[in-house]
Chain A
Amino acid sequence: MIPVTTSGPFTHKANSVQNVMATVLLALLPATALNMYLFGWPAIFLFAVTIGSCVAVEAGCLMLYGRPVKETLSDNTAVLTGWLMAASLPPWAPWWLGLLGAVFAIAMAKHAFGGVGQNVFNPAMVGRTVLLVSFPVVMTAWVAPHPLFSANAPGFADAIAITFGGHLPDTMSAASALGYVKTELSRGIPVTQSMTQVPDLMDMALGYRAGSLGETSALLILAGGLFLMYKRIISWHIPVSVIGSLFLMGTIFHAADPARYTSGMFHVMSGATFLGAFFIATDYVTSPVSKMGQLVFGAGVGLLAWTIRTYAGYPEGMAFAVLLMNSLTPIIDQYTRPRIFGRSRKGEPLPLAKEKA
C-alpha cells in the first residue's frame, strides 16, 4: 500500500540540473543581450544558429545512443553549451561556424565521452578551440560595434547576407585589444605606446569594443557571475583564483618591463577573462569537486591564460588554458580530497590526544 524502495532521505532540496542550468543562462542573458544590441542582426542570427545546432546535435546523439531525448534535452545543458560557444564566436561569423562548432562540442567532446557529466573537456571550449585552430581567419574577424538601428548597422537583409552568405564587409574588421597589442608588439612597438590605441578600460568594462559575441562587457559578465554566486550555483573559489593569478602575473611582469608586458588590469578586463573565470572554468563537469581543488584549478587557468596570451601564437588564451586544466582535473581531484572526519590526510585514524584529566 505504501511504496517502499530506497534508503533515505525522504526530503530533498528543491533543485535540479535543469534549474541550475537555467539560472546560468539567466546570468548570461544581460551580457549577451547587450552584445546582440551592439553587433546587431548578424550576431542574433549566429547566436540562434549555434544554439539550435547544439540542441539538434544533442538530440541526434541521444537518438543514436537510444537514450531518452526529451528528458535529457530538457536539462538545458546543450543550450548552455551552445550559448557559451556562441558567446565566444566573432559576432559576424558565418552560420556554418556555429553548426560545425556544435558538432565538435556536442558530438565529439560530450557524447563521445558518454554524455552529460562524463566529458573531460568543456564542450563549448572544445568547439571554440577547434574552430579557432581550423579557421583562424574567420575566427579572428572581429568587428567594431554597430548598434542595432544605428546609422551604419547592417539591416535585416544585409545581416542575412553576412551570416548566411558569408559576405563580411571588408572595411568593418577591427582588432581585439589583446590581438592589437600583440600585433603591435611584434612590429617593435612597445606596449606602452600601443596601449594608447586600444579602447580605454572603461569602454572595455562596459563592452563597447570589438570582441566576441557575448563577452565584450566585462561588467555585465561580472554581474552575471556575482548573481550565480549569490544563487550559490558557483562558489568564489574558481573565479577569484583565475582572475587573481592572471592579475598577479600581469602586474608582476608589467612592473618588471612595461614596454613588453601589458598590465594586470588590462589582462583582467580584456578578452574572455570574466566569461572564462565565471562561466567556463566553473563548469561543474570539467572542474574539480573540492574547494581546494578548485583553487588549484583556477590558479592554473589564470597562469596558463597569461602565458598563452603573452608568449604563444594566439592573442587570447582563456579557452586553451581552461582545456589544459580540464585535463588535469582528475589528478587535482585525486590530490585535493577533503580530509575524512576522524582521519588524517593520509587516511589513518587520528591519534588520540592525551587527556589532561
Chain B
Amino acid sequence: MATSYNTIVKDGLWENNGVLAMLLGLCPTMAMTTSATNGLGMGLATAVVMAASGLLVSIFRSYITQEIRIPVYILIVAAMVTLVDLSMNAWMHELYKVLGLFIPLIVSNCLPLARLEAFASKEPPAQSLMDGIFMGIGFTLALTAIGAVREITGSGTLFADASLLLGPAFKFMEMRVLPADTGILMMILPPGGFLVAGLMVVGKRMLDVRAGKAIQMGGAHSAA
C-alpha cells in the first residue's frame, strides 16, 4: 500500500511540512535559524539523516517488532547522526564549525522519529527514501525561510557565509540587504526565532484557509 510520490512530495513540502504544519523539530528551528545559511545547512544535514534512516527502517521494517521499535528508531537515527557528524567534521570542516554544535541535536529532533513511526515503518523503501528526502527538503525550506527573515531583519544580510557551506562558487549569494548596524538585534536572538516561526505558521494557515483547505493541526507537539 504505497503512497504515491505526488502525495509524498506535496506532504513533505507543504501539506504536512515538519515545521509549519506539524510543529516538529522546533529546537533546531529556533537554535539554527539565525541566518539563512545556517538554516539551510541544518536542514540539509537533517534531510540526509532522515533519508538514510527512513530507508534503513523501511528495509528492516519486517524485523522491527512493535515492542522494540522505538529503541531501534533511536538507534538508527543516532547512528546516522553520528555518521554525518563524523564525516562532516572530517571532510566539510568549515561547515562543521558552523553547525557542529547542532548536528548531535538532530537526534533529539522529533521530526525524523515521527516520520519513521508514521511512514517508513509502513511503506516500502523507495517511498520511505522519498519521504525522508522531501520531508527533509520541506524542513530545509522552512528553516531557510525563517533564517532568511531573521537574518535580513536582524543583521541586514542574506545568505552570509553561504560560500562556507556551499563552496566558493556560491559567493554571489551573499548579500547585504540593509546597511550595516541597522538590524533589529532581537530577531537573531531566540525570541526572534519564536516570532518568525509563529508568523510563518500563521502565514501558512492563512494561505491554506484562503485555498479552502481544512487546517491541519499538528498532532504531536514537539518537545525538541
Stretch at the interface among B36-44, B117-125, B182-190: B182-190
B residues within 8 A CB of A130? Answer: 184, 186, 191
A residues within 8 A CB of B186? Answer: 130, 133-134
Which residue among A130, A134, A135 has the maximum number of chain B CB atoms within 10 Å of its CB? A134
B166 at interface by CB-CB < 8 Å:
no
8 Å CB contact of A100 from B184, B189, B195: B184
Q: In the complex the two chains form, what is the Cα distance from A151 to B195 in whole Å?
A: 46
Give the total number of A-B pairs whose CB atoms are below 8 A apart.
19
A114 at interface by CB-CB < 8 Å:
no
Residues A108 and B195 in contact, CB atoms below 8 Å apart: yes
A residues within 8 A CB of B183? Answer: 134
In the complex, what's the smallest C-beta–C-beta distance from B204 to chain A, in angstroms?
15
B residues within 8 A CB of A112? Answer: 198, 202
Residues A135 and B195 in contact, CB atoms below 8 Å apart: no
Q: In the complex the two chains form, what is the Cα distance from A155 to B186 in whole Å?
A: 34
B residues within 8 A CB of A108? Answer: 195
A residues within 8 A CB of B202? Answer: 112
A136 at interface by CB-CB < 8 Å:
yes
A residues within 8 A CB of B195? Answer: 108
B residues 172-224 with Cβ under 8 Å of A? 183-187, 189, 191, 195, 198, 202
In the complex, what's the smallest C-beta–C-beta distance from A194 to chain B, in angstroms?
28
Residue-wise interface mask of B (76-105) relative to A, using a CB-CB cutoff of 8 A (1 in contact, 0 not):
000000000000000000000000000000
Contact size range, A: under 10
In the complex, what's the smallest C-beta–C-beta distance from B206 to chain A, in angstroms?
11
Considering the complex, give the chain B residue whose CB is closest to the CB of A100: B184
Q: In the complex the two chains form, what is the Cα distance from A136 to B198 in whole Å?
A: 25
Number of interface residues of B (CB under 8 A): 10
Considering the complex, give the chain A residue whose CB is closest to the CB of B199: A112
A residues within 8 A CB of B189? Answer: 133
Residue-wise interface mask of A (129-173) relative to B, using a CB-CB cutoff of 8 A (1 in contact, 0 not):
010011110000000000000000000000000000000000000
In the complex, what's the smallest C-beta–C-beta distance from B202 to chain A, in angstroms?
8
A residues within 8 A CB of B198? Answer: 112
Residue-wise interface mask of A (106-138) relative to B, using a CB-CB cutoff of 8 A (1 in contact, 0 not):
001000100000000000000000100111100
B residues within 8 A CB of A136? Answer: 185
Do most interface residues of chain A lie in helix, strand or loop, or is the interface mixed? Answer: helix
Q: In the complex the two chains form, what is the Cα distance from A326 to B198 in whole Å?
A: 20
Q: In the complex the two chains form, what is the Cα distance from A100 to B198 in whole Å?
A: 19
In the complex, what's the smallest C-beta–C-beta distance from A312 to chain B, in angstroms?
15
Q: In the complex the two chains form, what is the Cα distance from A34 to B183 in whole Å?
A: 33
A residues 92-116 with Cβ under 8 Å of B? 100, 108, 112
Q: In the complex the two chains form, what is the Cα distance from A135 to B185 in whole Å?
A: 7
Q: In the complex the two chains form, what is the Cα distance from A133 to B184 in whole Å?
A: 8
In the complex, what's the smallest C-beta–C-beta distance from A99 to chain B, in angstroms?
12
Q: In the complex the two chains form, what is the Cα distance from A134 to B186 in whole Å?
A: 5
Q: In the complex the two chains form, what is the Cα distance from A133 to B191 in whole Å?
A: 10
Q: In the complex the two chains form, what is the Cα distance from A134 to B181 in whole Å?
A: 11
Considering the complex, give the chain B residue whose CB is closest to the CB of A136: B185
Considering the complex, give the chain A residue whose CB is closest to the CB of B189: A133
Q: In the complex the two chains form, what is the Cα distance from A108 to B186 in whole Å?
A: 13
B residues within 8 A CB of A100? Answer: 184
In the complex, what's the smallest C-beta–C-beta distance from B85 to chain A, in angstroms?
32
A residues 278-301 with Cβ under 8 Å of B? none
Q: In the complex the two chains form, what is the Cα distance from A246 to B123 in whole Å?
A: 61
Considering the complex, give the chain B residue whose CB is closest to the CB of A133: B186
A residues within 8 A CB of B191? Answer: 130, 133
Q: In the complex the two chains form, what is the Cα distance from A105 to B12 in whole Å?
A: 35
A residues within 8 A CB of B185? Answer: 133-136
Considering the complex, give the chain A residue whose CB is closest to the CB of B181: A137
A residues 17-50 with Cβ under 8 Å of B? none
A residues within 8 A CB of B184? Answer: 100, 130, 134-135
Q: In the complex the two chains form, what is the Cα distance from A134 to B154 in whole Å?
A: 8
Which residue among B186, B187, B191 has the maximum number of chain A CB atoms within 10 Å of its CB? B186
Q: In the complex the two chains form, what is the Cα distance from A183 to B95 in whole Å?
A: 38
Considering the complex, give the chain A residue whose CB is closest to the CB of B198: A112
In the complex, what's the smallest C-beta–C-beta distance from B191 to chain A, in angstroms?
8
Which residue among A100, A112, A130, A136 has the maximum number of chain B CB atoms within 10 Å of its CB? A130
Considering the complex, give the chain A residue whose CB is closest to the CB of B187: A134
Q: In the complex the two chains form, what is the Cα distance from A112 to B203 in whole Å?
A: 12
Considering the complex, give the chain B residue whose CB is closest to the CB of A137: B181
Q: In the complex the two chains form, what is the Cα distance from A130 to B195 in whole Å?
A: 11
In the complex, what's the smallest C-beta–C-beta distance from A141 to chain B, in angstroms?
15
Considering the complex, give the chain A residue whose CB is closest to the CB of B202: A112
In the complex, what's the smallest C-beta–C-beta distance from B178 to chain A, in angstroms?
13
Q: In the complex the two chains form, what is the Cα distance from A130 to B186 in whole Å?
A: 6
In the complex, what's the smallest C-beta–C-beta distance from B48 to chain A, in angstroms?
35
Q: In the complex the two chains form, what is the Cα distance from A130 to B184 in whole Å?
A: 8
In the complex, what's the smallest C-beta–C-beta distance from A97 to chain B, in angstroms?
11
6 additional A-B pairs beyond A130-B186, A133-B189, A134-B184, beta carbons within 8 Å, are A112-B198, A112-B202, A130-B184, A130-B191, A133-B186, A134-B185
What is the interface of chain A, defined by CB distance below 8 A to chain B? Answer: 100, 108, 112, 130, 133-136
What is the interface of chain B, defined by CB distance below 8 A to chain A? Answer: 183-187, 189, 191, 195, 198, 202
Q: Can you name 5 A-B pairs with beta carbons within 8 Å?
A: A100-B184, A130-B186, A133-B185, A134-B186, A135-B185
What 4 A-B pairs have minimum CB-CB distances, sorted nearest first?
A134-B185, A134-B186, A134-B184, A133-B186
